[in-house]
Amino acid sequence: MNDERDSVLIVDDDPITRDGLTNVLRKGGYRVASVGSSREAI
């Protein structure tokens, strides 16, 4: 099966904000990856 959902990368150093946004976007049908720093993002 092919996963055709849109993808989002969240980069935020605040874990509460990052986790909250991740949960909201996943419930909205997005595929989400989240990291705590720009270094992790690249």
Q: What are 2-41's pLDDT values in tens digits?
A: 678 899 999 999 999 999 999 999 999 999 999 999 999 9
The number of folded domains in the chain is 1
Cβ–Cβ < 8 Å for 8, 25: yes
Query: How far apart, in whole angstroms, are the C-alpha atoms of residue 33 and residue 21?
Result: 11
Q: Is residue 2 part of a domain?
A: no
Q: pTM (2 decimals)?
A: 0.82
Would residue 13 count as lying in a domain?
yes
Could you give the CA distance from residue 31 to residue 9 in angstroms, rounded to a whole number?
A: 9
Could you list the residue range(s) of the whole structural domain that residue 21 is in?
Answer: 7-36
Question: What's the distance, Cα to Cα, between the start and end of the chain in Å?
Answer: 28
Residue 15's identity, in one-letter code, is: P
- How far is the C-alpha of 41 from the C-alpha of 9, rounded, in Å? 8
